Structure 1
Amino acid sequence: NTSGHKYGLVYPGVGWALWRDKEALPEDLIFRVNYLGGDMPTFALNFSRPGSQVIAQYYTFLRLGREGFRAVQQATRDVAMSLARRVEDMGDFRLLTRGDQLPVFAFTTADHVT
């Protein structure tokens, strides 16, 4: 799963959960309902939230296209890695992450700083 506001370029409130295939989806999450006299399996992670985030995310993806969306994500990663290098170069901090996996980084004070 992941957060739509981190990778979908929308404000908080949307996220995704994906399963590799039908067999990987836990049976506990499938509900069986009587629909028009027949048994119908249904699956939904349902919360009382508006759908505007999904619409905004879809619009952004259509507007930017795959390459545009990828370019935005690459730019955020590049910024994180550049900032991480600059923080590390100050000498007073030790990086815990470098921004090369996710477009964020974490740091702590260096051992020599009291």
Structure 2
Amino acid sequence: MLDNRFVLGRIAIYGQATAIYAKPNTGKTLLTIWLLIQAISAKGIEGADVFYINADDNYRGLVEKLKLAELHGFEMLAPGHNGFEAKLFVNYIQAMVRDESAHGKIIILDTLKKVRGFDG
């Protein structure tokens, strides 16, 4: 069981699944990345424990967000880049659980519907 502590402002609690839903282009990604950077800067979470899966951006947006990820020490993954395949996301998670490397990790999916296993 994990401590009840927030990882994204007062929105997401460590160890729990949280969904942020709103119309397109309302700032969900911007807010999430800003809160993530705030949490890392305040030493509330370790950047190395964060895996941000960017499945909803064009190339320019991906590059801009990758710069932020590198600056603040978190992983930015994107389907079709560096061998990451969104369709295998559930398999990646299952492997992390099996080898016990999932403990303490924070996974952000942007956008959930673009990852196999979560597409209804």
Structures share fold, TM-score greater than 0.5 = no
Structure 2 length normalisation: TM-score? 0.24
Computing the radius of gyration from Cα coordinates, the structure with the larger value is 1
User: Would you tell me which structure has more strand in proportion to its own residues?
Assistant: 1
Structure 1 length normalisation: TM-score? 0.25
